[in-house]
Amino acid sequence: LAKTTQPISMDSYEGQEVNITCSHNNIATNDYITWYQQFPSQGPRFIIQGYKTKVTNEVASLFIPADRKSSTLSLPRVSLSDTAVYYCPLLGGSYIPTFGRGTSLIVHP
Amino acid sequence: DGGITQSPKYLFRKEGQNVTLSCEQNLNHDAMYWYRQDPGQGLRLIYYSQIVNDFQKGDIAEGYSVSREKKESFPLTVTSAQKNPTAFYLCASSGTVSPYNEQFFGPGTRLTVL
């Protein structure tokens, strides 16, 4: 059964770079790695997705090592508005995302 | 403006009553999903549908029912058989169900059963 492990919570300060790591030891060969962000009382929204190596967009970077058993979401120079819960759901055999508790990031002034 | 709408945003019901939550999408997506979220918890899958007139149970389908008569609509009924229905309900859609599945979520409906 595909399962991910993330830190429950993290704290940072404005302007710092934040790295959130997700472990997914049983990732399937075909599965992509996707990260979502959720603000309180809102639905999650897609941040970034990748299969291997490094992916960068205007919001974040995603680092995936060669064995693909983990991935790291990197948020450059965070601001207070980056305070949210971050998820790295894995796909089960039916390709349906399974969301764990995610990582609650709190950015302090 | 494409997206997913859920209504209402807040819903209150008395115990023992069935209630239907609306979910509509104009993204032309084939797949739609319903998740439940409890405070401090992740999202748990209730039902999903890969195509019109077809749907599958998720991890916590007991006490819920769905229909998919139109591509753009996937309503969820919370029945009186659901033991603890108070929660935040999220609807999502994706183009298809695939290894590179990107889901688009609605704003959610917060249901409180009194």
Give pLDDT tens digits along chain B (114 positions): 569 999 999 999 999 899 999 999 999 999 999 999 999 889 999 999 999 999 999 999 999 999 999 999 999 999 988 889 999 999 999 998 888 889 999 999 999 998
Interchain proximity B45–A96, CB inside 8 Å: yes
Measured between alpha carbons, how far is A58 from A46 in angstroms, rounded to an integer? Answer: 13
Question: Taking CB atoms and an 8 Å cutoff, what residues of chain A touch B41?
Answer: 101
- CA distances to A72, B45, B59 from A63, in Å: 5, 28, 30
Question: Taking CB atoms and an 8 Å cutoff, what residues of chain A touch B33?
Answer: 96
Q: What is the pLDDT of residues A15-49, one digit of tens each?
A: 999 999 999 888 888 889 999 999 999 999 999 99
A102 interfacial to chain B (CB closer than 8 Å): yes
Q: What is the pLDDT of residues B47-62, one digit of tens each?
A: 999 999 999 999 999 9
Residue identified by tokens 């601001």 is A79
B54 exposed, middle or buried (CB, 10 Å; 0-12, 13-18, 19+)? Answer: exposed
Band of pLDDT at residue A1, cut at 50, 70 and 90: low
